[in-house]
Structure 1
Amino acid sequence: MEEIKKLLESFIPIAKSTAKMFGSNCEVVIHDLTNPQASVMFTVNNHVTGREIGQSFDHLVKTVLQSKDFKEDYLAGYTFVTADLRTIRSSTSLIRDSKQKVIGAFCINFDVEALNQMQQFMNTFLSTHDEVQDNVKKSDNDIGNVEGIVDQLIQQIIQNSVHPVMKRHEKIELIRFMDEKGIFLMKGSVEKVASLLGISKVTVYSYLDEIKNKSS
């Protein structure tokens, strides 16, 4: 029994370095399977699952050993959910003695809840190529709606500002405002503004040139 204890304890530095490498969300547990009723003989970062020394194993038989992917004494990447509904991603490797008898298990439990939330955010934030294409098509279909909205903005802006004795500098300031708001990025906006202001399209362009020259 002392030999088994020393062999299992030899994995403690690996457990500590693994936990240190992957941070506080990574728990490492060493089981002594010669004492299955109280198999946990070492833990680090045990806040992840709450494993305590002296507890028994949980997933070894039902999840690990019965998995079709359990080969060569290990199973990597299986998951389970804690009582407080956090997803844990785990790996378990068996430990054998010199006679090839299974005496222990080396388990890594990683709390991936934060990563899951990040993945959900990234999936929402980043569109796939197909989704981008779909969005482009929808935007093309909505051009008429966008033009209608801009038309309403132009009419409202001018309606709020125009008066019978409107002076040249007032018209220039009104066009400056619309230029700053991106109104003239829309096709046909110059013609619409010119019509509503009662001036020519050429005059609107000259005002825009004047505005540009003054700002440069």
Structure 2
Amino acid sequence: MSNHIPSQLQPYIQLVEFLGCVLGNQCEVVLHDVRNIENSIVAIKNSHISNRKVGGSLTDLALKILKNKSYVEKDYLLNYSGKTHEGKIVRSSTFFIKDDLGNVVGLLCFNMDLSKMVETRNLLDSLINGAFEVSSNGLDLNGRTPGDIENPIEDFHTSIEELTTSIILKTLSETTISPDRMSADEKIEVVKQLNEKGVFLIKGAVSEVALYLKTSEATVYRYLNKLDTKQQNGKFINELQH
């Protein structure tokens, strides 16, 4: 076991191998070291599901969790939907590994490949109802159902560059205005959304964002400083009011 891996994560490395064998080859088990966003995967079993490997990066959802610190009040997330780079549908759960101060140091993730099950269910639905239907019970963390294959909330990528580009393009697709026609305020809003998704936790993300927004790195940094100042002022006003 590598000395670069935090001591809190060392016991989980063997557990990844064990759980991967117990749960079967349709369940991918992954251990992430969140200190190293670009190369967070330190152990993985049944990697054929997402085609990731040791040295791979965090996912978009994991970045968002680190950014908004939702792990503070939770110990785990259960049964949310995801999609691999190849389009496989997975049902995922994540356990937060924390230090003595409650800070997250690692993530133990389970990704169950549902592709064949979804195909079988849709086939049965078509035979029973005469049309494909998607239905399920139980809510996941975003208010969607675990079987909601139309709107997976996590994407798996094989490289940090791929992840960064995917989040940027997805965010830009949510507006009808092209970057070269955006006002400064509209670009600030895009930067705000990307910041909330944890994009700027990734090394080199500022230059990538600047490229897609058709502006300079200095301008993106200025937008981030403006957002940070606004957030700090908001906290100060809120404290005065209470």
CA RMSD of aligned residues (A): 3.2
Taking a change above 3 Å as real, the CA distance of residues 67 and 103 of structure 1, as seen in their structure-2 partners, is closer
Per-residue CA distance 1:91-140 (angstroms, 9 max, x = gap): 1111112332211111111110001011112223446xxxxxxxxxxxxx
Structure 1 stretches of 4+ with a deviation exceeding 4 A read 1-4, 63-71
Aligned residue number for residue 41 of structure 2: 40
Note the 1:65-76 alignment, pairs <5 A.
72-76=74-78
Which piece of structure 1 moves more, 57-66 or 18-27?
57-66
AA of the residue aligned to 2:91:
R
Which of 1 and 2 has higher RCO (CA within 8 Å, sep 6+)?
Answer: 2
Whole-Å separation in 1 of the counterparts to 2:77 and 2:7: 24
Q: Quote the residue 2:94 is aligned against.
A: 92
CA displacement at 1:54 relative to structure 2: 1.2
Unaligned runs of 5+ in 1: 128-216
Q: TM-score, normalised by structure 1?
A: 0.51
CA distance in 2, matches of 1:64, 1:111: 25
1:21 correspondence with 2:5: no
Cα deviations by residue, 1:39-90 (Å, 9 ceiling, x for unpaired): 1111111111112111210130337876999952321111122232211211
The percentage of counterpart residues that share the same residue type is: 27
Does structure 1 residue 62 correspond to structure 2 residue 41? Answer: no
CA distance in 1, matches of 2:4, 2:85: 36
TM-score (norm 2): 0.46
Note the residue ranges of structure 2 that are not aligned, 5 or more in a row.
130-242
How many residues of Structure 1 are paired with residues of Structure 2 in the alignment? 128
1: distance between equivalents of 2:128 and 2:93?
Answer: 30
Summarize the Cα distance change of 1:69–1:53 in structure 2 as closer, same or farther, 3 Å threshold. closer
The answer as to whether partners of 1:4 and 1:103 remain within 8 angstroms in 2 is: no
CA distance in 2, matches of 1:84, 1:73: 30
